[in-house]
Amino acid sequence: LMQPKYDVRSFYKESGLARRVADSAVFENATLCVICANAIWMAVDTNHNTKDLLSESEVEFQVVEHAFCIFFTAEWLVRFVAFKSKVQCLREPWFMLDTALVFVTILENWVFLVLFALLPSVQVQVSRNLSVLMVFRLLRLCRIARMARVFRMLPELVILMKGLANGMRSVLLALVLLFMLVYVFAIGFTQALRGTTVGE
């Protein structure tokens, strides 16, 4: 039986500004462009920003990070307000992923920034603690998960991934068959040629 195609917009309000914005193609395309720009910026940040803490980074890195944080927070708010029932947000996996990523971004860009500004001694201690710095690096690495949203906006990528996953079984079975053939012939030739000049 044909199942109805899942569409998160079916959980949005019937009308309203947030619904119109969240449902518009311009909003979707702009979000996709910003996600791609954020992915490119992460490569630039990785190569040129030697500081682990955003508060210690150069001004240009801080400005760009805050701009991305503002956009993704605003985008999350628009989609949250557009939901008819806020409980439905908990059942929408992409929205929950966005929620986690926005939370991590706000935590790193704004919460820690205010904390370090109010308590400079904490920033000094964090800068000297390698295990805490590793946590900050992992937080920044989590942002790459935002690229997963490209799969939602470009369904063709999902089809390609499903095709690769389905083809993986055939490839693995072919490798197993080749291994079994090599194994059988290796044992056969080893026993047949034992004691001959070829076997030695």
Identify the three-state secondary structure at position 83.
Answer: strand
Rounded to whole angstroms, the maximal C-alpha distance in the chain is 87
Average pLDDT, the chain: 82
118-152 pLDDT, tens digit per residue, is: 887 776 676 666 566 667 667 777 777 777 777 77
- The span from the CA of 76 to the CA of 95, in Å, is 8
Percent of the chain with pLDDT over 90: 21
Residue 169 pLDDT: 86
Residue 66 pLDDT: 93
Distance between start and end Cα atoms, the chain: 64
Identify the three-state secondary structure at position 16.
Answer: coil
- The span from the CA of 185 to the CA of 194, in Å, is 14
Q: Is the pLDDT of residue 93 over 90?
A: no
Residue 5 pLDDT: 58
Q: Which carries the bigger pLDDT value, residue 12 or residue 127?
A: 12
Q: What is the DSSP letter of 109?
A: I
What band does 200 get if pLDDT is binned at 50, 70 and 90? low
Q: Span 156-160, mean pLDDT?
A: 81
Residue 157 pLDDT: 79
Q: SS3 breakdown of the chain: % helix, strand, coil, rounded to 5? A: 80, 0, 15
61-78 pLDDT, tens digit per residue, is: 999 999 999 999 999 999
Contacts of 127 (CB under 8 A, 6+ apart): 52, 53, 56, 133
Q: Is the pLDDT of residue 115 over 80?
A: yes
Contacts of 100 (CB under 8 A, 6+ apart): 142
Residue 1 pLDDT: 46
- The span from the CA of 187 to the CA of 34, in Å, is 58
Q: Is the pLDDT of residue 49 over 60?
A: yes
Q: Any idea which of 26-35, 61-70, 87-96 has the lowest mean pLDDT?
A: 87-96
Q: Span 98-107, mean pLDDT?
A: 88
Residue 196 pLDDT: 76
